[in-house]
Structure 1
Amino acid sequence: MLTRRIFGWSRLLGAIVCLVSLTHRMLWGMGSQTLASDNFFAYLTIQSNVAFTALSLVAGVIALRRAEDPPWLTSARALVLSWTTTAGLAFSIIVWQAGLRGIPITVPWSDVVLHYVLPALAVIAWLIGPGRRTASWRVLPFVLLYPVLWGVFTIVRGRFIGWYPYYFLDPRQVSGLPEMAISCLLALSIFALVATSLVLLSRVPVRLAPWGEISPSPQPAERRRPATAGRRHATAGR
């Protein structure tokens, strides 16, 4: 199917764009005094986009070779897309909060691509892409497992090196443990909300027609009474 192949190549293109953006973000960040080379991969955004790159390569090859994604691929896409989309939403909140605190944040083009462009296009592809199966609700706890493990590791690591990737994880930049706990719970709720939305979107009956137009799922044809049945009733009434 032509549209399936188009989406397959688009997945491969998305992996390349993500890889280029990650490389630019790393080189751009190395010129900053606030980012050491050993801290670049400590960001949840970077880790989730590395996973996005690898998964997009695999998903692209599968789309070019098979008419339908296997169930495990749909689950993996739901997981990774939940992480990257939430990272983009969290980045927007951080930039907004930094502005309120009078802290300037420079956003390079690679950050825009990683936090906004790729997640938005991936959500659109999730909704209308051919060959995707219905996502299972079982992915929800696994969506939350990664940020919980990442958060615990990051807080423990920050105690030893004195550096945290996000201000709300740093005890020195928040009012205390209650504010940190509330911020973490808010972040987890966003992860859960995004994952729930993706599972629900996978159940929306939207498909692509052969030439790429979006069309609703076919409805069952209206049943018609056979003409012979009408004749029999008429004959019986005589």
Structure 2
Amino acid sequence: MTAAFLVLRAIAVLAIGAAVVGQIITSLGFWADAGLTDTAFRLTNFFSIVTIESNVASVVVLTMAIGLTLMGRRPTWFEVLRAAVTTYMVTGGIVYNMLLRGIELPQWATLAWSNEILHVWGPLYLLIDRLFAPGRIQLEWKQFLWIIGFPLVWAVYTLIRGPLTYDPVLEGPFYPYPFLNPVTSTSGYVSVAFYVILIAAVIGLVGAAIIRISRTRLGQATDARPVSATA
């Protein structure tokens, strides 16, 4: 089973990495065709999207998981990191498929196959890996704070940076998701606050579920080989 997940992780790393790179190449081509020369600004926008950030983090985490498994190690800090990234990926998949599927994002010309990997297959694999891959350990409830820390920082960064930007393509400030833009939202910041609270609730529920599952038999490692659970 361990060997199977090593192969699956390698495939996931290649697929998610290709999806991110493919979207970057598509975006660069779109910006060039549109005569946009503010590449640094647009790449900053691109990497300010939590979906991109979580998918890049997934590539890093899965690569680390391969290395740590081969070394026979299972550090607690890594399991917390893996739980956090899984939470963000699953939340991103839920939010996208509930709120954003079918909405065109012309500012970077969405690449269809990449979009599906980033929002559907990547999150699905991270969840499967977290639930069934060998080498899992029990997480503590106090580690929930680490899981929700990054989304809070990202939300503050996004809402502060948004009004300070101007995107000529959008003819207004840049926000990575339409529902976070108080300019175009029906009730301004009231609508934004509603969606921020809603997404925070989803992140909290998914993160809590991952910790809870880790404390059940389903969430425990079944691999008989000895693994170091260093902190």
Q: TM-score band (shorter)?
A: 0.7 to 0.9
Q: Which of 80, 85, 93 is the aligned partner of 1:88?
A: 93
Q: Is the 8 A contact 1:9 1:64 kept in 2?
A: no
**Deviations 1:79-119, CA, capped at 9 Å, x for gaps:** 111111111111112325849xxxxx966111111111121
Task: Please state if 1:192 is matched with 2:198.
Answer: no
In the other structure, the counterpart of 1:167 is 178
Partner AA of 1:53 in structure 2: V
Partner AA of 1:40 in structure 2: F
Q: Is the 8 A contact 2:23 2:110 kept in 1?
A: no
Q: Which of 31, 41, 44 is the aligned partner of 2:50?
A: 44
Distance 1:75 1:156 in 2: 28
Secondary structure at the counterpart of residue 45 of structure 1: helix
Partner AA of 2:189 in structure 1: L
| Structure 2 segments unaligned to the other structure (5+ residues) | 166-172, 225-231
Q: Is the 8 A contact 2:19 2:118 kept in 1?
A: yes
Question: What are the residue-to-residue correspondences of 1:21-170 with 2, within 5 Å?
Answer: 21-32=19-30, 36-66=42-72, 69-95=74-100, 98=103, 108-161=112-165, 162-170=173-181
Secondary structure at the counterpart of residue 215 of structure 2: coil
Q: Is the 8 A contact 1:75 1:139 kept in 2?
A: yes
Instruction: Note the C-alpha offset of 1:11.
Output: 2.2
Distance 2:197 2:111 in 1: 26
Q: Is the 8 A contact 1:8 1:61 kept in 2?
A: no
Distance 1:184 1:8 in 2: 36
Q: How many residues align?
A: 202
RMSD: 2.4
Instruction: Note the C-alpha offset of 1:208.
Output: 5.6
Q: Is the 8 A contact 1:8 1:62 kept in 2?
A: no
Q: Is the 8 A contact 2:19 2:114 kept in 1?
A: yes
Instruction: Note the C-alpha offset of 1:204.
Output: 3.3
Distance 1:209 1:150 in 2: 36
Instruction: Note the C-alpha offset of 1:62.
Output: 0.8
Distance 1:65 1:137 in 2: 27
Q: Is the 8 A contact 2:144 2:208 kept in 1?
A: yes
Distance 1:65 1:87 in 2: 31
Instruction: Note the C-alpha offset of 1:123.
Output: 1.2
Q: Is the 8 A contact 1:87 1:115 kept in 2?
A: yes
Q: Is the 8 A contact 2:91 2:203 kept in 1?
A: yes
Partner AA of 2:178 in structure 1: Y
Q: Normalising by structure 2, what TM-score?
A: 0.78
Q: Is the 8 A contact 2:57 2:85 kept in 1?
A: yes
Q: Normalising by structure 1, what TM-score?
A: 0.76
Q: Is the 8 A contact 2:84 2:207 kept in 1?
A: yes
- Pick closer, same or farther for the CA change 1:191–1:97 going to 2, 3 Å: farther
Distance 1:204 1:182 in 2: 33
Question: What are the residue-to-residue correspondences of 1:156-235 with 2, within 5 Å?
Answer: 156-161=160-165, 162-174=173-185, 175-206=187-218
Structure of higher RCO (CA pairs closer than 8 Å, 6+ residues apart): 2
